Amino acid sequence: MGIKTSLLVLMLYLVPQADLKTVNGEVIQIQNGDTLTLKTDRDKLHKVRLADIDAPEMGQPFGKSALRLATDLAMGKTVRVNYILKDKYKRLIGEVFLPDGKLLNEEMLKSGLAWHYRVKNPHSSFLEKLEYKAWKKNLGLWIQKKPVPPWEFRRENRLPSPPAIPKNMDYDLFLAYGLLGNPKTRIYEWPECKGYPKNPKGYINFGSLLDAEILGYRASRRCETDE
């Protein structure tokens, strides 16, 4: 059943033959450093979650700074959003192109006000470099000695169960699902499985069971399912 990993540069997740979609509109609200709402010329509203980055939550240090930067860069602007998937909240998970052609996703990383959200495979070396440069210069949140990643800040005491299908996936909980696939054995498992890998280096992150199955992975026999 599923994964949710891909790159937005013609493959936001590892879903085969995913169709890139585009929507244009005016940004009418900025919820935080990685989420906004735009209105099309037909007055249709879309909530957008910036792909491949994760900005500090509002209750974290630099959460308000990330909100201010996103507001300065995008509020009231007409933008283009390239996306492939929507998550369970109907948010478009995509890249936001500003009027000057720059990517809002990248601008947040460059300023040190977002982390590279490593959920696609392979990871984007370009985004990794942007994050590294911001860290090297102590920009934004990187001035902290031990900054807490937003996905860790959001983590609850009880890990969420991985969704069966992509449309039920919460993009913000992608890493919290802990749904991992071993490229060598083509087997996937999650934290509730017995013998779950403690050092998952080289594994692939999935966001739903279905996508893993589509890519030829099968669930470990050590995992219990509802089926």
Using alpha carbons only, what angle is made at residue 198 by residues 187 and 169, rounded to the nearest 5 degrees? 60
Full-model pTM: 0.86
Give the rounded percent of residues in the chain with a pLDDT score beyond 70: 89
pLDDT score of 2: 37
Identify the pLDDT of residue 225.
Answer: 59
- Domain 21-143 is in which class? mainly beta
The confidence score (pLDDT) of residue 8 equals: 34
Length, in residues, of the chain: 227
Given this model, what pLDDT does residue 13 score? Answer: 43
pLDDT tens digits along 34-43: 999 999 999 9
User: What pLDDT was estimated at residue 122?
Assistant: 82
pLDDT at 31: 98
- The per-residue pLDDT for 136 is 98
Tell me if residue 57 is catalytic: yes
With CA atoms as reference, report the closest residue to 31 among 66, 83, 61, 60: 66
Question: Does the pLDDT of residue 16 top 80, yes or no?
Answer: no
Please check the confidence at residue 30 and state whether its pLDDT lies above 90.
yes
- Look up 158 and say whether it is catalytic: no
Selecting among 49, 95, 107, 118, the annotated active-site residue is: 49
Q: Which of 57, 106, 107, 131 is catalytic?
A: 57
**Alpha-carbon dihedral sign for residues 2, 200, 173, 35:** negative
**Catalytic residue selected from 26, 42, 68, 91:** 91
- 171 pLDDT more than 80: yes
Count CA atoms closer than 13 A to 38's CA, side-chain side: 26
Q: What residue segments make up the domains of the chain, in order of their start?
A: 21-143, 150-219
Residue with tokens 């240090």: 61
For the cut 60, the answer to whether the pLDDT of residue 3 exceeds it is no
68 an active-site residue?
A: no
Strand partners, 115: 54
pLDDT of residue 199: 84
